[in-house]
Every structure is written in structure tokens, then in C-alpha cells.
């Protein structure tokens, strides 16, 4: 009993239509003033298959603030710079607490649990910054994003970055706290500045799915043939996304969607179906854990219909 392969383009279009019709949309992140203005009815999805086919639905070309999705790419960059020495400054375990929790840091000497909670991402940013001016570090991150997405038009939304810089007291608390333990080494304002700016990178679903291809294909861009990271490192980044990529909703995401993924409070999610596809979805309304409400539902529908879960045939 062989089922025919579903038509990816059709599946993505259908899902986008279903999502656009739903009235439950979650709540747009209110704590960053600039983000609160985004249209809650937006929904976009892009899937890039192994053969290069691009299936798109909804607002797939509209740029949004990638926020914490950027942490996948800064992790990749930092591992490229210092390799496994990175793990002296940040752990690899789910946190069991909210994305901006400081409790765990006090219990564990200022070492964040993983690179995808805010504290961990700040430590990763600090590694990239090391020995550079903030402007240089930020330039490097932006160039990396443009290279991965093969798109020089990607920019930082300065309005969002400034908005965070003026109101990001909790991140400032985390950074100062880690600085007191030596886990952050640069001037706290430098590290925070680079962090707020790379979180404020604006990308469309298409651009984000393009940038994620190397994780779906053993570390290699299947189109250009460029090796971005080794196959082992790609697997490991995917494993971290699976266990830690959705804050305190990571278990739920694995249970329902069954793909490695990383969410951001801008409503974007990058997901990876190893060997099959790079996927980006965007809908600004968030669930209680701070992950895109419709984004997760759309990915659940996609993996079910395509049979893409990494947890079984």
C-alpha cells in the first residue's frame, strides 16, 4: 500500500488558506513596542524542498522581525569561531523555565542552560563580539545571513533595535548577571547592542527558508554546493533546536510537530526536515510560551500531511 507523494505546493497553499481563515491567532508580543504594531492577521509560509522547489503561501514575501530565530545563525557563527570551547560558556540542556528567566543562572553560576534562551544567546553574541567593535560584529552577522539566504537586500530594522535597546531591561539584567560571573566578557552595553540588533534583522519567509537550507542538507547548501558546516555540526544544531528551540514549549513542539525548529517573538519559526526541506512560517500572534500560535499549528499540519516527522514513518 504505497501512498502517492503529496503535492507540496498544494499542501502549503491549503495550509496557508486554512490558517488565514482561523480566528484564534494568539497575542502579538507586547513587550517590544515596535513589534506590537504588526498586523495580527498576517500569515506566511515557505518550504524549500531538497530539489530546490519553492512552495509558498500567504504573506511569504513580507519581511518580519526574526528576533530569536537569529540565534540559530549566531550559534552557527560562534561555533565556527571557537568550536566546542563555546560550551564552556553555555550548556546544551532544556531550561524548564521561561525564555527570559534568571533563576537558573543563579543556581548554575551564571552559565545559561542553552544557546537559545535569551541568556544563552547573549553569551553566544559575546563570543562573536570578542575582540571586535560592535559595528564589526554586527556586520559579520548580517553578511552571514545575506550569504546563507543569497540575498543582499536583508537589513536590520533600526526602529525595532532601538525600541529594544530602550526597553530591554530584562536582557540588561541577564547580561549584567552573567558579566558578574565572567560568562560575558565584553562591556555589557556592547554585547546588548549587538544582540538587540541581530534580533532586529528583518526577513521574509522566503529569505528565512533560504537561509536554513544548510541545516536540512548535512551542512551544505544544496544549490551552490557550499559547505557551511560539517554534517555532524548540522545534526547537532538541529538536535539543539529540537530540545531547546521553543523555550518552555519545546517538548510540546516536538510532540506535535516533530521537527527541529526555532521560534522568535516576532512570530517567525524556522523548521528543518532533515534531508527533505527547509521551512519558514510566520504569524505574529504568540501562545503562552512565546511561540507563534498559528506557526506551530501550520507546521503540525505540514508534517502530518507530508509525513515529515523525524520521529517515525
Which residues define the annotated binding site for substrate?
68, 118, 164, 171, 195, 247, 265
Q: Tell me whether residue 175 or residue 299 sits nearer to a second copy (CB atom).
A: 175
Active site includes 263? no
Q: CA–CA separation, 236 vs 216, rounded Å?
A: 12
- The helix/strand/coil state of 83 is helix
Compute φ and ψ for 242, nearest 5 degrees. Answer: -65, -45
Query: Which is catalytic among the residues 38, 47, 65, 247?
Result: 247
Catalytic-residue membership of 247? yes
Q: Helices (DSSP H) in the chain: which residue ranges?
A: 8-21, 70-82, 103-107, 118-129, 134-149, 158-167, 169-180, 188-199, 205-211, 213-216, 231-244, 250-256, 293-306
Residues contributing to the site for a second copy (CB under 8 A): 91-97, 101-107, 113-114, 169-170, 172-177, 179-180, 188, 215, 217-219, 231, 234-236, 238-240, 242-244, 248-252, 254-255, 258, 260, 274-275, 309-313
The answer to whether 71 is a known catalytic residue is yes
Kindly name the residue from 60, 65, 68, 95 that is annotated as catalytic: 68
Catalytic residue list contains 262? no
Task: Specify whether the CB–CB gap between 267 and 297 falls below 8 A.
Answer: no
Q: Which C-beta is closer to a second copy: that of 44 or that of 91?
A: 91
Q: Is 31 among the residues known to form the active site?
A: no
C-alpha cell at 9: 505546493
Residue placing its CB nearer to a second copy in the complex, 13 or 92: 92
Beta carbon nearer to a second copy, 43 or 253: 253
Secondary structure in 3-state letters for 166-180: HHCHHHHHHHHHHHH
Q: Smallest distance from the beta carbon of 20 to a second copy, in angstroms?
A: 26
Q: How far is the CB of 14 from a second copy (least distance, A)?
A: 20
Residue with cell 492577521: 41
| Minimum gap (Å) between residue 155 Cβ and a second copy | 28
Pairing of strands 277-282, 44-49: antiparallel
Which is it for the CA torsion 172, 248, 128, 152, positive or negative?
negative
Binding site listing: 68, 118, 164, 171, 195, 247, 265
Which residues are known to be catalytic? 68, 71, 195, 247, 265
Amino acid at each position: 500500500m504505497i501512498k502517492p507523494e503529496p503535492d507540496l505546493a498544494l499542501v502549503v497553499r491549503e495550509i496557508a488558506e486554512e490558517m488565514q481563515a482561523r480566528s484564534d491567532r494568539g497575542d502579538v508580543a507586547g513587550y517590544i513596542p515596535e513589534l506590537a504594531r504588526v498586523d495580527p492577521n498576517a500569515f506566511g509560509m515557505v518550504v524549500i524542498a531538497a530539489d530546490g522547489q519553492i512552495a509558498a503561501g500567504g504573506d511569504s514575501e513580507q519581511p518580519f522581525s526574526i528576533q530569536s530565530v537569529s540565534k540559530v545563525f549566531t550559534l552557527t557563527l560562534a561555533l565556527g569561531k571557537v568550536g566546542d570551547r563555546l560550551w564552556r560558556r553555555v550548556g546544551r540542556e532544556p531550561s524548564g523555565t521561561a525564555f527570559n528567566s534568571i533563576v537558573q543562572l543563579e543556581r548554575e553560576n551564571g552559565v545559561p542552560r542553552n544557546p537559545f534562551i535569551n541568556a544563552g544567546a547573549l553569551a553566544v553574541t559575546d563570543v562573536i563580539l570578542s575582540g571586535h567593535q560592535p559595528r564589526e560584529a554586527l556586520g559579520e552577522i548580517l553578511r552571514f545571513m545575506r550569504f546563507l539566504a543569497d540575498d543582499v537586500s536583508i537589513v536590520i530594522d533600526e526602529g525595532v533595535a532601538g525600541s529594544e535597546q530602550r526597553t530591554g531591561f530584562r536582557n540588561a539584567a541577564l547580561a549584567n548577571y552573567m558579566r558578574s560571573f565572567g560568562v560575558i566578557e565584553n562591556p555589557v552595553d556592547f554585547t546588548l547592542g549587538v544582540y538587540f540588533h541581530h534580533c532586529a534583522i528583518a526577513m521574509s519567509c522566503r529569505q528565512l527558508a533560504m537561509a536554513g537550507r544548510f541545516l536540512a542538507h548535512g551542512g551544505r547548501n544544496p544549490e551552490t554546493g557550499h559547505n557551511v558546516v560539517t554534517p555532524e555540526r548540522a545534526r547537532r544544531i538541529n538536535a539543539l533546536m529540537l530540545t531547546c528551540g521553543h523555550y518552555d514549549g519545546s517538548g510540546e513542539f516536538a510532540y506535535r510537530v516533530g521537527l527541529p525548529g526555532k521560534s522568535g517573538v516576532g512570530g517567525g519559526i524556522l523548521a528543518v526536515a532533515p534531508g527533505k526541506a527547509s521551512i519558514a512560517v510566520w504569524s505574529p500572534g504568540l501562545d503562552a510560551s512565546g511561540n507563534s500560535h498559528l506557526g506551530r499549528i501550520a507546521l503540525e499540519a505540514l508534517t502530518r500531511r507530508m509525513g515529515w516527522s523525524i520521529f517515525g514513518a
